């Protein structure tokens, strides 16, 4: 039998090939690529939503699918503290699609994009034999202080997160506000050493920060801000908050000396910013409760075959 594989194994093998080129300042492995253009770099990110995998059209409207298709990309540009600029939308429309459905989908994309100053600049339209496919590429620009990468966390940094975690299964993943403006405001008010958007759950995304930065992290279990709309089931509240994914909040590391100032006068009142832990020299990710510290195994949602 062919061995199973997971999305991160493929991404890691692509990254290890070291596909480097001076024109690509940051390639595979961050939330968006950074294309070096001299006077001002370009950010590029792409995400795909598939009927039957990410959504069911009997439960979700085409408008919601469109909104989310651009929302997840806006969140990746936010993770770089960038300014989103132009969207390119590739559609696979299944048999039976109507122009009203396609219009509604595109309206979801365009209206949410316009809230963030994004212009629809191109795309591709095809017939699909296996459900609705929406692949969206978003271009953006870094703001004045440059792109924030996953790779700059240093031991001693304070680890923070915006908002609360774990509300996605209650439906928030269809209506989350991408933290574009908040990321830019944070970037202006504090030195952001490293940042990622929480797409798979911090139980997974923290490992990306750790690997890229070459450090470890300790998360204080009691500090994790937990959503008020968690499902009630056998899983613990913390398990939901760490691993349900699709929170699309910002997870970032800042120098310890600026953390008190940031928390005392945050650049925005909502969402709250919570300190949930710190970066450490030791590799690995640990969950701390009082004096005890246990190793955290990667969780979160992973596509696998």
Residue 170 binds: one of ligand ADP, Mg ion, none (C-beta under 5 to 8 A by kind): none
Q: Which is nearer to Mg ion, 199 or 204 (CB)?
A: 199
The Cα–Cα gap between 8 and 11 comes to 5
- Chain position whose Cβ is nearest to Mg ion: 31
Q: In the bound complex, what is the minimum distance in angstroms from residue 292's beta carbon to ligand ADP?
A: 31
| Residues 38-77: x where in contact with Mg ion by CB under 5 A, - otherwise, as a string | --------------------------------------x-
| Residues 170-209: x where in contact with Mg ion by CB under 5 A, - otherwise, as a string | ---------------------------x-x----------
Q: Which long-range contacts (CB under 8 A, 24 or more apart) does 227-236 make?
A: 227/164, 227/165, 227/166, 227/167, 227/170, 227/172, 228/164, 228/167, 229/167, 229/170, 229/172, 230/166, 230/167, 230/169, 230/170, 231/169, 231/170
Q: In the bound complex, what is the minimum distance in angstroms from residue 303's beta carbon to ligand ADP?
A: 9
Q: Which of residues 7-36 bind Mg ion (CB under 5 A)?
A: 31
Cis peptide before 271 (omega within 30 of 0): yes
| Residues 180-219: x where in contact with ligand ADP by CB under 6 A, - otherwise, as a string | -------------------x--------------------
Q: Which of residues 23-62 bind ligand ADP (CB under 6 A)?
A: 28-31, 47
Q: Which residues, other chains included, contact 243 with Cβ-Cβ below 8 Å and sequence gap of 6+?
A: 201, 203, 204, 299, 300, 301
Q: Decide if 50 contacts 131 (C-beta within 8 A).
A: yes
Q: Which is nearer to ligand ADP, 109 or 138 (CB)?
A: 138
| Residues 207-236: x where in contact with Mg ion by CB under 5 A, - otherwise, as a string | ------------------------------
Q: Which residues, other chains included, contact 218 with Cβ-Cβ below 8 Å and sequence gap of 6+?
A: 277, 278, 280, 285, 286, 287, 288, 293
**Within its chain, how far is the Cα of 125 from the centroid?**
26
Residue that has been written with the tokens 């409207």 in this structure: 61
Q: Which residues bind ligand ADP (CB under 6 A)?
A: 11, 14, 28-31, 47, 76, 199
Q: Which residues bind Mg ion (CB under 5 A)?
A: 31, 76, 197, 199
């Amino acid at each position: 039998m062919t061995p199973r594989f997971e999305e991160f194994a493929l991404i890691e093998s692509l990254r290890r090939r070291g596909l480097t080129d001076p024109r690509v300042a940051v390639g595979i492995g961050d939330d968006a690529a950074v294309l070096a253009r001299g006077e001002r770099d370009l950010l590029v990110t792409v995400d795909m939503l598939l009927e039957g995998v990410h959504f069911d059209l009997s439960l979700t409207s085409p408008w919601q699918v469109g909104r989310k298709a651009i929302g997840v990309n806006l969140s990746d540009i936010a993770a770089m503290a960038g300014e989103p600029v132009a969207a390119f939308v590739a559609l696979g429309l299944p048999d039976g699609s109507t122009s009203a459905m396609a219009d509604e989908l595109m309206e979801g994309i365009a209206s949410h994009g316009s809230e963030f100053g994004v212009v629809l600049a191109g795309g591709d339209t095809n017939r699909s034999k296996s459900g609705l496919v929406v692949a969206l590429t978003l271009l953006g620009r870094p703001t004045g202080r440059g792109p924030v990468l996953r790779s700059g966390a240093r031991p001693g940094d304070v680890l923070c997160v915006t908002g609360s975690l774990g509300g996605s299964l209650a439906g928030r993943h269809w209506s989350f506000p991408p933290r574009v403006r908040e990321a830019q405001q944070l970037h202006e008010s504090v030195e952001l050493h490293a940042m990622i958007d929480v797409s798979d759950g911090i139980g997974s995304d923290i490992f990306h920060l750790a690997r890229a930065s070459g450090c470890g992290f300790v998360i204080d279990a009691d500090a994790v801000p937990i959503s008020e709309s968690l499902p009630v089931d056998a899983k613990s509240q913390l398990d939901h908050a760490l691993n349900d994914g699709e929170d699309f909040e910002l997870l970032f590391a800042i120098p310890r000396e600026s953390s008190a100032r940031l928390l005392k006068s945050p650049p925005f009142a909502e969402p709250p910013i919570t300190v949930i832990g710190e970066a450490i020299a030791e590799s690995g990710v640990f969950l701390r409760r009082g004096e005890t510290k246990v190793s955290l195994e990667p969780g979160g949602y992973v596509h696998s075959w």
